Structure 1
């Protein structure tokens, strides 16, 4: 994107935000929105002003790029990560940006042209099929009572696992430093407690990921097909985490106070902690809001 286009878009964005969504000049009287996506290559947040339509009660934007022969950058971003932020001038909300199939696009495109005939000129100027993108809102409606959803339940599980892992790392530090039950002697209580705690943690983490793989992820994939990429990545990360868990289980099962060097156990826990923090952060960013649309959190006595 040229510096001139960047400067122009920056001006539109500033004007939009300063005037409650209204922009003058060539956009006088037009309905615009600001779409913030995550860069497919950079991972950085990118904001783009776009025409904003409602088709059949659904918010829609069009990847016209003013009739260019290549899809705009924001379109490539949503194909990698479809979770977006939408600013309309009166409100800001999160959405899943969904690209309809070719068959589904046709009636949408016809309705887009009824509202904004200028898009027909853009389509006439390029051989590519200009995508119509539907924005499925995933946050709570303004003023609605907040219902604890499946996504919130997942975050609560993450927080519990984070706390348990932090406790395990403290125990591993104590063992590695020759503390209670460590290499320098003393009672084996700490080693036994850690073995029990560690195996319980690994079992809970396995159950958490199994539940996602068999329940949450397939349900999300069915409702939001454009989440296929992030869900595939999360599934692959589950496999990596499982292999680290197996190594940790081997280490704690074979741990003998006074004989086994706990340094490797601490190192493996550090690897697991780093991997899990990255995994949890990515999962919470990409799918938690979408999960909340599937229903309320389960009631656990």
Structure 2
């Protein structure tokens, strides 16, 4: 944080979001994004306008000719933390364009005339940024929630596979002559859904996110590396269930638990890093990426 912002931030946090001096009585929040160059958290106090439960902030830079650093940061990586009053929440910062941008900025200029003056001082169109909560309860086109539903369906399929394959070490295989068939059915179901889901992400969702938010590159790179590992896991799962009776029961159990643990960790990381972003950008994509649509019951 800059020397100018430091005392404002400290006073804000010490007094439940209230500050004195030139900002006394102002609607003020703290926005934490990730520095484009440093990769470290970058905290900025900003004036805001609230409309219909959405917070809007303004990249005025006091009328300077260049966009402020915090705006460049959220353009690269929209994942932010917002502090308002005594509340802190994870959010997604997305610019507002066109008539909606003009309407919101005009409202702020009427409430706080300094903002109207900032726009008069510069040739650039001062950006307006909406801060969406990462949780999308009740919101249409909640693609992050749809991603979680697909993962939950896969978790259920993996649980069924675990229950069936553990029947072998438990000694029940002799009483279940169709066990091998059921295991293959469960495994093919899991592997097919995983393959379609990840192929769609690689072909469509990840390139779109990378193009719009270059700051997400490390997250997408990790997910792509994990997709390679998941492909190997799918191959090994199919191999494991071809004839479970031919394998040592303890090794089958250990391998299966390890595979399922890696898959669940992958699902959890993707939901944590991208769920909120997908929830926020969903309405802007108009038609949902095919990889996040319900398919073969994947999201049912």
Query: TM-score interval w.r.t. the shorter chain?
Result: 0.5 to 0.7
Q: How does 1:31-110 map to 2 (within 5 A)?
A: 32-36=28-32, 48=43, 50-52=45-47, 59-60=57-58, 82-89=78-85, 94-96=91-93
For normalisation by structure 2, the TM-score amounts to: 0.63
Q: How does 1:6-17 map to 2 (within 5 A)?
A: 9=9, 11-17=11-17
**Residues 282 and 25 of structure 1: is their aligned pair in 2 closer, same or farther, counting only changes over 3 Å?**
same
Check whether the contact 2:191–2:234 (CA below 8 A) recurs between aligned residues. Answer: yes
- SS, match of residue 156 in structure 1: helix
> Quick check: 1:270 aligned with 2:268?
no
Query: How far, CA to CA, are the matches of 2:244 and 2:258 in structure 1?
Result: 22
Query: How far, CA to CA, are the matches of 1:133 and 1:230 in structure 2?
Result: 26
Query: How far, CA to CA, are the matches of 1:155 and 1:52 in structure 2?
Result: 34
> Quick check: 1:285 aligned with 2:272?
yes
Query: How far, CA to CA, are the matches of 1:244 and 1:164 in structure 2?
Result: 15
Query: How far, CA to CA, are the matches of 2:248 and 2:76 in structure 1?
Result: 44
Check whether the contact 2:144–2:275 (CA below 8 A) recurs between aligned residues. Answer: yes
Query: How far, CA to CA, are the matches of 1:48 and 1:156 in structure 2?
Result: 33
2:19 paired residue number? 23
- Which one of 180, 188, 191 corresponds to residue 191 of structure 1? 180
Of structures 1 and 2, the one with the larger relative CO (CA 8 A, separation 6+) is 2
2:165 paired residue number? 172
Deviation at 1:247, TM superposition (A): 1.6
**Residues 171 and 140 of structure 1: is their aligned pair in 2 closer, same or farther, counting only changes over 3 Å?**
closer
Query: How far, CA to CA, are the matches of 1:202 and 1:296 in structure 2?
Result: 26
Q: How does 1:246-261 map to 2 (within 5 A)?
A: 246-253=235-242, 255-257=243-245, 259-261=246-248
Deviations 1:93-126 (A, max 9, x none): 712489xxxxxxxxxxxx99x749xxxxxxxxxx
> Quick check: 1:210 aligned with 2:228?
no
> Quick check: 1:242 aligned with 2:222?
no
For normalisation by structure 1, the TM-score amounts to: 0.63
> Quick check: 1:162 aligned with 2:155?
yes
Deviation at 1:211, TM superposition (A): 1.1
Query: How far, CA to CA, are the matches of 2:32 and 2:255 in structure 1?
Result: 38
Deviations 1:194-241 (A, max 9, x none): 122112211211111111111211122223222222112111111111
RMSD of the TM alignment (CA)?
A: 4.6
**Residues 261 and 171 of structure 1: is their aligned pair in 2 closer, same or farther, counting only changes over 3 Å?**
same
Q: Unaligned 5+ residue runs, structure 2?
A: 36-40, 50-54, 62-68, 96-113, 120-125
Q: Unaligned 5+ residue runs, structure 1?
A: 40-45, 64-71, 99-110, 117-131
- SS, match of residue 33 in structure 1: strand
Q: How many matched pairs?
A: 248
Query: How far, CA to CA, are the matches of 1:58 and 1:188 in structure 2?
Result: 63
Query: How far, CA to CA, are the matches of 1:268 and 1:81 in structure 2?
Result: 37
Check whether the contact 1:82–1:97 (CA below 8 A) recurs between aligned residues. Answer: yes
Check whether the contact 1:175–1:191 (CA below 8 A) recurs between aligned residues. Answer: no
**Residues 85 and 263 of structure 1: is their aligned pair in 2 closer, same or farther, counting only changes over 3 Å?**
same
